[in-house]
Amino acid sequence: MNDIDTLVGQLANALTARGWTMATAESCTGGLIAGACTDRAGSSDWFERGFVTYSNAAKTDLLGVPADLIAAHGAVSEPVARAMAAGALAHAPVQVAVAVTGVAGPSGGSADKPVGTVWLGWATPQGVFTERQRFDGDRAAVRRATVAHALAGLLQRLS
């Protein structure tokens, strides 16, 4: 069992104990968070749906992220991560949601947003919380670290 499997198990227990379900809104991870959750047998009890919103248009169409917000701040930004998390919560019958948007690499980075930069958002009944991270490694490592941090962050907010 790896760290992600352990986190998923803990998250499953925390959500099930509350009778809650979750949704994901993923850009740079392309559905890996939803995949990690649904790898667990019985996940239909606590996992409702995942939105893979890789393009800016998908963020707008599926989650209601305003196009002008993306234009003003870029897809990899605090306001967009916040809007993605809130949008997932608004567009799914769930109590919590997690969102990620970032630059997984190997290209696409800039001085302000180097490869490995990820904004995460968590929507809970207490509000929407965001955090910026910078993960090291190749594309796969950045995506794995994002999945683990997204799950750990949601678990922390449920504690």
CATH code, 56: 3.90.950.20
CA distance 31 to 39: 12
Q: Which domain holds residue 104?
A: 3-158
pLDDT in tens, 6-25: 999 999 999 999 999 999 99
Domain count within the chain: 1
pLDDT one-digit tens code per residue, 19-69: 999 999 999 999 999 999 999 999 999 999 999 999 999 999 999 999 999
What are the tens digits of pLDDT across the range 74-128? 999 999 999 999 999 999 999 999 999 999 998 888 889 999 999 999 999 999 9
pLDDT of residue 1: 54
Query: What is the average per-residue pLDDT within 140-148?
Result: 97
